Amino acid sequence: MSEIADSPVFVPTTLAEAIQIVKRNPRIPLWAGGTWWAQGRSTPEQDDDQLEGPHGAILTLHAIRELKRVVRSEIHVDVGAAVVVARLREAGSRFLPPVLLRALERTGPPPVRNLATLGGAVCIPDQILPVTLVLQLLDTRLDLRRGGRGHTLALANFRPNPGDILTRLRIPLTEWSNWSLNSFGTIWPRGDNSLTVAAVAHVEKGSVQEFRLGLLINGETILRLREAEMDILGRPVPLTERDQRIILTPLQQHPLYGSHLDDLGRWRATGAVRQFLRRLG
């Protein structure tokens, strides 16, 4: 490990070293690609009390090789938290689900994607990014370390916490015959009327075998329709107007649809979902 002289920047080269540093300084800010910090958070001292490190210290993850591996099996891919988005996009071009490849392409302009890490994208504390919505739809699980202890949880249940180090994301390599990813409004920096609609489905032997849909509203709230997702399974394609309503009606009756979307947002959400449903098959 190197601790840069007269500079409160810790540069561990192993995960074990990083864990020891975080154990001693549980509130030390972690710096992965640094692109979120760079947006008005150029020095951690400026940040809110919750994330401020001791004497402005930071811990960078870029020298930890364990966090930069991509390991693929038949059924999933394990992505180290410090894997850079552009590298993952390139390395995974032949095996990652296309909806995820598209989401990775949209994590910012090329200079940002060349620095930003997948772990940093899901750990941003003040905003949910579209790529996180997509990873949730794919049932991604996270490995985290707090002190000496590790735990695994679904991304859908994850909230970033000072003191936790995200080490790995496990992404299932499910086959999807249909997918769509539509974003409206200003995604970054977070706009008040932004909306992302993501959907994946698998159609085989003329009927819907898998279906998942998620809406990310204003970069802060995710709307899912888990019951309706189950109800549509087994329906023959192309879906009838009546079968489309299995999804559209609960969407339009969802409390968030009424309270968090304005007329334009509701029109966009319904339009994007209807278009996806009509194209199944």
Ligand X SMILES: Cc1cc2nc3c(=O)[nH]c(=O)nc-3n(C[C@H](O)[C@H](O)[C@H](O)COP(=O)(O)OP(=O)(O)OC[C@H]3O[C@@H](n4cnc5c(N)ncnc54)[C@H](O)[C@@H]3O)c2cc1C
10 binds ligand X (CB under 6 A): no
Of 118-126, 220-228, 239-247, 255-263: span binding ligand X (CB under 6 A): 118-126
117 binds ligand X (CB under 6 A): yes
Q: CB count, 10 Å around CB of 232?
A: 21
With both helix axes pointing from N to C terminus, report the angle between 263-279 and 241-253 in degrees, rounded to the nearest 10: 150
Q: How far from 152 is each of 134, 165, 182, CA to CA, in Å?
A: 19, 12, 30
Among 12, 29, 92, 265, binds ligand X (CB under 6 A): 29
The residue number with the shortest CB distance to ligand X is: 120
Q: State which residue, 123 or 248, has the beta carbon closest to ligand X.
A: 123
**Residues 51/44, Cβ–Cβ less than 8 Å:** yes
Q: State which residue, 12 or 29, has the beta carbon closest to ligand X.
A: 29
Q: Within its chain, how far is the Cα of 48 from the centroid?
A: 23
Encoded one letter per residue, x for contact with ligand X by CB under 6 A and - for no contact, window 154-193 reads: ------x---xxx--------------------xx-----
* Residues within window 228-267 making contact with ligand X, judged by CB under 6 A: none
83 binds ligand X (CB under 6 A): no
Question: Comparing C-alpha atoms, which of 203, 167, 179 is closest to residue 100?
Answer: 179
Minimum distance from residue 196 beta carbon to ligand X (Å): 9
* Residues within window 122-151 making contact with ligand X, judged by CB under 6 A: 123-125, 129-131
**Rounded CA separation 281/278 (Å):** 8
| CB-side neighbour CA atoms (13 Å) of 233 | 9
Among 12, 53, 120, 265, binds ligand X (CB under 6 A): 120
38 binds ligand X (CB under 6 A): yes
Q: State which residue, 39 or 240, has the beta carbon closest to ligand X.
A: 39
Among 97, 119, 214, 265, binds ligand X (CB under 6 A): 119
Residues 6+ apart with CB under 8 A from 181: 99, 102, 103, 106, 130, 134, 196, 197, 198
* Residues within window 47-66 making contact with ligand X, judged by CB under 6 A: 61
99 binds ligand X (CB under 6 A): no
Minimum distance from residue 107 beta carbon to ligand X (Å): 4
**Rounded CA separation 26/162 (Å):** 7
List interacting residues with ligand X (CB under 6 A). 29-39, 61, 81, 106-109, 112, 115-117, 119-121, 123-125, 129-131, 160, 164-166, 187-188
